Amino acid sequence: MNDWQRLYQLQQIELQLEAAKKKLRNLPVITEFTQLKNETADAKEALAWTKTKLTEQKKRAKRLEMDLLQTEADLQEARKKLYGDRGQSVKELEQLERRVELLHKEQVEKEEMLILAMEGNEELDKALHKAQARYQELRAQLLALQKEGNAEINSLKEEIKNLQQQWQKLRAQIDNNLFHEYQQLRKRFHGRPLARVENDICTGCRVQVYTFLKQKLKEANARVYCENCGRLLIAAL
């Protein structure tokens, strides 16, 4: 194997490295994980909001209940005075009747408010259970996807590591000047400056190679360029 053949192998390793790194950057699992992570974060936020609202609603219902009990006590006391025959004047009786009427109306309003508050508690409690279930479901999916993604990512990283080691081993066997020339050609041909001749075809452009060029390839360290694409031709091993 001559230096150009080693360079061809180096080129193929570099192409595999680029493909593996691109695959790592564009793994579908990464995009899916990011999207699922955002959904999980939204579900967690919704769960926290529902918990807060339920706590506030329970406190409000408790205040309404205590307020209603106080109104009922006041109403009971007013009725005792009204019907207690304590020798009140007509004016005092009228005032007591008015107070009983107002307290009864207030009692009815507060009972309605308390019922609505308790119904709100029930709705929020249902929403809380739903939000908890949604968050737990998404979190389980996220953890499973993370595990799956880590396995795929680690596999690709291991592949990249092995390819880099192969590259280093080959690079150590290639002359520095020749490697520099290869790098210049690499820029021109977008990472594929070398092409093998297989079945009399240039693998770079898929055009047939003339007989005299194939003969020249048999010479040691000969530099033979494809007349169609300009790539440096390498004899098939």
One domain, residues 105 and 77:
yes
One domain, residues 185 and 94:
no
Predicted local distance difference test score (pLDDT) of residue 120:
94
Predicted local distance difference test score (pLDDT) of residue 228:
92
Predicted local distance difference test score (pLDDT) of residue 28:
86
232-235 vs 194-198, strand pairing mode: parallel
DSSP class of 220: T
User: Is the residue at 4 inside a domain?
Assistant: no
One domain, residues 93 and 166:
yes
Q: Give the 3-state secondary structure of residue 44.
A: helix
- Residue 23 corresponds to which tokens in the numbers above? 């695959």
Q: What's the structural domain count of the chain?
A: 2
We report the CATH number of the domain holding residue 35 as: 1.10.287.1700
Predicted local distance difference test score (pLDDT) of residue 46:
96
Which among 2, 3, 18, 1 has a CA at the least distance from the CA of 192? 18
One domain, residues 146 and 195:
no
Predicted local distance difference test score (pLDDT) of residue 86:
67
User: Is the residue at 88 inside a domain?
Assistant: yes
One domain, residues 79 and 182:
no
Q: Which of 147, 171, 195 is the last residue of a domain?
A: 171
One domain, residues 129 and 225:
no
State the DSSP string of 52-81.
HHHHHHHHHHHHHHHHHHHHHHHHHHHHHH
Q: Count how many Cα atoms sit within 13 Å of the Cα of residue 94 in the half-sphere of its side chain.
A: 3
One domain, residues 181 and 150:
no
Q: What pTM was computed for the model?
A: 0.58
Beta-bridge partner residues of 233: 195, 224
* Residue 151 CA to its chain's centroid (Å): 17
Q: Which of 131, 152, 171 is the last residue of a domain?
A: 171
* Residues of the chain below pLDDT 50: none
The range of the structural domain enclosing residue 123 comes to 27-171
One domain, residues 132 and 50:
yes
User: Is the residue at 48 inside a domain?
Assistant: yes
Predicted local distance difference test score (pLDDT) of residue 217:
84
pLDDT digits (tens, 9 = 90+) for 192-202: 999 999 989 99
One domain, residues 106 and 219:
no
What's the burial of 209, exposed, middle or buried (CB within 10 Å: 0-12/13-18/19+)? buried
